[in-house]
Amino acid sequence: MPMPLPTPRPDPEDFHRALTASIEDPYPVYRRYRAAGALHRVLRPGSGREPEWLVLRYEEAAAVLAGRGFGRRAATAGVGPPRTVGIVPPAYPALGALVDNWLVFMDPPRHTRLRAVVAECLAARMRSGTRARVRGIVRRLVERLAAEPRVDLVAQYAALVPVLTMLEVLGVPPGDHAWLRRHAAAIQQATTFRSGPREPRLAAADEGARALADYFRAALAERRAAPAGDLLSALLAAPWDDDLAGDDVLIGTCVHLLLGGHEATTNALAKSALLLLRQPGVLATLRRTPALLPAAVDEFIRYDAPAQMVTRWAYQDETVAGHRIRRGDKVTVVLGAANRDPERFEQPDAVRFDRDGHRHCGFGMGAHYCLGSALGRTEVEAGVEGLLALLPGLRLDGGAVPYRQDLVFHGPERLDTTRER
Task: Examine the pLDDT at 57 and tell me if it is beyond 90.
Answer: yes
Give the pLDDT score at 79: 62
Give the pLDDT score at 125: 82
Task: Examine the pLDDT at 367 and tell me if it is beyond 80.
Answer: no
What separation in angstroms does the CA of 117 have from each of 112, 213, 234, 236?
A: 9, 21, 10, 11
Q: What is the number of structural domains in the chain?
A: 1
Report the 10 Å Cβ neighbour count for 312.
Answer: 24
Give the pLDDT score at 192: 55
Task: Examine the pLDDT at 257 and tell me if it is beyond 90.
Answer: no
pLDDT one-digit tens code per residue, 214-236: 999 999 999 999 998 889 999 99
Instruction: Say how far residue 351 (Cα) sits from the centre of its chain.
Output: 20
The CATH number of the domain where 70 resides is what?
1.10.630.10
CA distance 226 to 231: 13
Give the pLDDT score at 399: 75
Burial of 229 from C-beta contacts in 10 A (0-12 / 13-18 / 19+): exposed
Report the 10 Å Cβ neighbour count for 22.
Answer: 13
CA distance 57 to 343: 8
Give the pLDDT score at 45: 62
Give the pLDDT score at 47: 46
Nearest to 353 by CA among 390, 280, 301: 301
CA distance 139 to 382: 9
- 408: in domain: no
- 130: in domain: yes
Amino acid at 249: V
CA distance 336 to 297: 16
What separation in angstroms does the CA of 416 have from each of 58, 75, 182, 397, 413?
A: 34, 44, 20, 5, 10
CA distance 380 to 378: 6
**Residue 71: helix, strand or coil by DSSP?**
strand
Top pLDDT among 114 and 304 is at: 304
Strand-strand pairing, 323-325 and 70-71: unpaired
CA distance 360 to 374: 15
- 378 pLDDT band, cuts 50/70/90, is very high
CA distance 178 to 184: 10
Task: Examine the pLDDT at 6 and tell me if it is beyond 60.
Answer: no
- 103: in domain: yes
Give the pLDDT score at 194: 60
Handedness of CA 169, 175, 181, 187 (dihedral sign): negative
Between CA 296 and CA 367, with CA 371 as vertex, the angle to 5 degrees is 110
- 420: in domain: no
Cβ neighbours of residue 390 under 8 Å, at least 6 residues apart? 142, 145, 146, 151, 157
- 409: in domain: no
DSSP state of 305: -
From its phi and psi, is residue 364 left (phi > 0), alpha (psi between -120 and 50) or beta?
A: left
- 49 pLDDT band, cuts 50/70/90, is low
CA distance 172 to 216: 9
Query: Across-strand partners of 54?
Result: 40, 332
CA distance 283 to 265: 19
- 91: in domain: yes
- 64: in domain: yes
Burial of 300 from C-beta contacts in 10 A (0-12 / 13-18 / 19+): buried
Alpha carbons within 13 A on the beta-carbon side of 369? 13
Residue 227 φ then ψ, to 5°? -60, 150
Query: Above pLDDT 70, what percent of the chain?
Result: 92
Residue 309 φ then ψ, to 5°? -145, 150
- 40: in domain: yes
* Parent domain of 21: 12-402
Ordered DSSP codes for 364-420: --GGGS-TTHHHHHHHHHHHHHHHHHHSTTEEE-SSPPPB-S-SSS--BS--EEEE-
Instruction: Enumerate helices (H) and strands (E) in the chain, giving the number of each.
Output: 15, 10
